[in-house]
Amino acid sequence: MTQLSHLFSPIRIGRMEVRNRIMMPGMSAGQMLDADLNVTPEMIAYFVERAKAEPGLMAVGASEVVPPPATDKPRFPVSLYDDKWIPSLKRLVDAVHEYDTKFGIQLWTGGTQSSGSVHLSPSGIPAMAAAVADSRYAPKLKTLTVEEIAGVVRNFADAARRCKAAGFDFVEIHAGHGYLISAFLTPYFNRRTDEYGGSLENRSRFLIQILRAVREAVGDEMGVGVKINGEDFLAGEGGWTVADAVELAPLLEREGADYISVTAGVMGGTRLTIPPMYEKQGCFTDLADAVKKVVSIPVATIGRIKNPVMGDELVAEGRADIVCMGRAMIVDSEVVSKARRGDIDDIRKCLADCRGCADHEMRSIRRGSPGQVSCVLNPRMQRESVCIDIEGSAKDNPKKVLVIGAGLSGLEAARRTAFSGHKVTLCESRDWIGGQIRYAAMIPGRHEIADMLPWYERQLAKHGVDVRLGTMVDADLIRELAPDVVFVATGSVPQVPQQMLENVTNAQNIEFVMIDDLLEEQLELDDPVLVVGGDQIGMQAADYISEGGRTVYVAEAHKHFAQKLAANDRWYLVGRTMAKNVRRIKNVSNIEIDGEDQIWLHNDQGREHLPGVKTVVFASERRSDRGLAEVAKSMGLETYVVGDAFDASSEDAATIFANVAQAYDIARRI
């Protein structure tokens, strides 16, 4: 506590006395609704678990204030345009208020970045990139009239009144991320010539009217915050800038805002609103710092703040008053309580690998089943009501568990079974834990992916796992250990594609390298280089190899690249390789090496020569290594194959997300 005294100091926000400076900001995560859009017990369990750690503030994410067309049948998000939802929201609020945290909700409408059939806009300008839309709808753009703008203002006020009736402590008007209010603020999207367009005073009129109406609806006893962009990061002219934010902030203070939360980015901008690990930690804090200098009300900062120590420093340095830790509270619901007692090393830190949170949700929206959010390192995310983990639950009748392989799935299997109280031995043939995670952390911009390994080491020690490194497991060792349960987590190995075996045999002066060998042995490669395989491993390999200024080609059999990565990560990775002139070739059906060691690619565009290739790196196909599973089964042992050893090739396999979840789900049942 004394180490983080600034972060855990109280603050007054409007009339609210808030016990510390940590906020779980509004996110789409946790919004689990029934068919009638009522809050479910699962949603309550999600928020209550995080409320137990008692952050200063918590908020439900973007909640719709504008009624959709009658033909739409929304399934998501929380909706605030009818009194019928007040009772279920009150159940949520009452449950959270069992703990000492101030609970709020975001007032929102998405504009051109929503998934309904009609997209409201100031001027009929679409988003810079296509919104991730519900597959049931073909959206139409609608430019708001002055009368319709007044109606939306009333929608916000009515929604705020319902939030007050439900017992929320505060509301937050979402005016960022390119949503409807943000679009009114941004010249690129707002080309109106009436009182809502042109000057910043006019462009902010919509937001100011909403703020006034919301304040009038809830009175002074309820907190009212505003979330704004510090930057849109739009290429070219017409974007919202930090200078605009600095000019707007005092107006918001004057009109009664109790705090301002500063975020950044719009869909199609040069930087993303949900920053992956390619962005630095605290990537938007400079924007909050600029706004804080011109207002006296509290300012919140957001953007990859995963370590409470950083949060404490931001408050101590006067760069922000409130520190938003969103994904940090998804991956570890106890991050606040652990920070409070100084147990920083026990915090499971967010990797900013967005495959479980943002990407899983986007994929669910495309399937027409929105609201599915998870976490690559916390498989209990949004399953808190059914995955009830009780430490030591098996201690009175423990089993002997052998886990073979200390890659990610093996680490999770060992951790979770030991957490229950079983006697666990973890054997790893190498002298280190982590498996392919060690390789992944060598890729430019992705070193934080190894941040999970010290946490796993700590958990294994905490729960008494017998870790044996440099230990090859065979039938004799299995018999000696006499386990009741065996987890085979021996991973996968890269292999040469079947159709290229003859090429490898016949080539004279081309060097062939397996991706694992390239990274483990840090091999120097002759230039140019052809990477065979353009999914997550191949594209990361291309980024790694091209750092040396080499000419790199990537040959991919399918029409997309890095599909197993989260879209946010993929966007940055592809951008990095494009900047280094890595050439990507898709739909490659065959790779031919002739008698002169010349390489030819065959795809739907024909036959193409890649001149002078000296090195070929195989990064496409992997073979599951599960031989020890048959050995264990032949002994009559209860045997489970997890991670890449179970599946290294199917569409959703061989990711952190898949491997941790599978190992956890099996281990918790032992």
Q: What percent of the chain has pLDDT over 90?
A: 89
Bridge partners (DSSP) of residue 608 are: 601
Q: What is the pLDDT of residue 191?
A: 97
Q: To the nearest 10°, report the CA torsion of 479, 480, 481, 487.
A: -30
- Quick one: DSSP state of residue 135? T
Q: What is the pLDDT of residue 361?
A: 78
Contact residues for 62 (Cβ-Cβ < 8 A; gap 6+): 26, 28, 77, 106, 108, 110, 174, 179
CA pair distance 316, 313, nearest whole angstrom:
5
Q: What is the pLDDT of residue 316?
A: 98
CA pair distance 456, 461, nearest whole angstrom:
9
**Residues 179, 188, 196, 572: which is the catalytic one?**
179
* DSSP of 586-615: -S--EEEE-TTS-EEEEETTEEEEETT--E
Q: What is the pLDDT of residue 548?
A: 86
The model carries a pTM of: 0.94
Average pLDDT over residues 148-168: 98
Q: What is the pLDDT of residue 17?
A: 97
Q: What is the pLDDT of residue 355?
A: 86
Q: Is the predicted pLDDT of residue 139 greater than 60, yes or no? A: yes
CA pair distance 172, 227, nearest whole angstrom:
7
Average pLDDT over residues 605-621: 95
Q: What is the pLDDT of residue 136?
A: 62
Q: What is the pLDDT of residue 127?
A: 85
In the chain, what are the helix, strand and coil shares in percent, each to the nearest 5? 35, 20, 45
What residue type is assigned to position 413 of the chain? Answer: A
Q: Which two tokens stand for residue 57?
A: 């503030």
Contact residues for 144 (Cβ-Cβ < 8 A; gap 6+): 120, 121, 122, 152
- What's the half-sphere exposure (Cβ side, CA atoms, 13 Å) at 222? 24
Average pLDDT over residues 385-399: 95
Q: Is the predicted pLDDT of residue 368 greater than 80, yes or no? A: no
Q: Is the predicted pLDDT of residue 74 greater than 90, yes or no? A: no
Q: What is the pLDDT of residue 540?
A: 97
Residue 115's pLDDT band (boundaries 50, 70, 90)? confident
Average pLDDT over residues 85-105: 98
CA pair distance 352, 328, nearest whole angstrom:
9
Q: What is the pLDDT of residue 431?
A: 97
Q: Is the predicted pLDDT of residue 560 greater than 60, yes or no? A: yes
Average pLDDT over residues 144-159: 98
Q: What is the pLDDT of residue 134?
A: 58
CA pair distance 590, 583, nearest whole angstrom:
17
CA pair distance 356, 380, nearest whole angstrom:
11
**pLDDT: is 615 or 137 the higher one?**
615
Q: What is the pLDDT of residue 171?
A: 98
Average pLDDT over residues 481-490: 98
Q: What percent of the chain has pLDDT over 70?
A: 99
Q: What is the pLDDT of residue 81?
A: 98
Q: List, for residues 1-42, the tens digit of each pLDDT value.
A: 458 999 999 999 999 999 999 999 999 899 999 999 999 999
3-state secondary structure of 214: helix
Q: Is the predicted pLDDT of residue 236 greater than 90, yes or no? A: no
Q: What is the pLDDT of residue 354?
A: 86
Q: What is the pLDDT of residue 362?
A: 77
Residue-level length of the chain: 670
Q: Respond yes or no: is residue 179 known to be catalytic.
A: yes
What are the angstrom distances between the C-alpha of 299 and each of 22, 249, 273, 296, 380?
Answer: 12, 10, 18, 9, 32
Q: Which of 291, 271, 165, 272 is closest to 225 using CA atoms?
A: 291
Q: List, for residues 397-424, the tens digit of each pLDDT value.
A: 999 999 999 999 999 999 999 999 999 9
Average pLDDT over residues 479-487: 98
Q: List, for residues 538-554, the tens digit of each pLDDT value.
A: 999 999 999 989 999 99
Place of tokens 């007054």: 12
Average pLDDT over residues 566-577: 94
Other beta carbons within 10 angstroms of residue 393's beta carbon come to 14
Q: What is the pLDDT of residue 131?
A: 60
Q: List, for residues 421-454, the tens digit of each pLDDT value.
A: 999 999 999 999 999 999 999 999 999 999 999 9
> Across the chain, what does the average pLDDT equal?
95
Q: What is the pLDDT of residue 376?
A: 93
Distance of CA 353 to the CA centre of its chain: 6
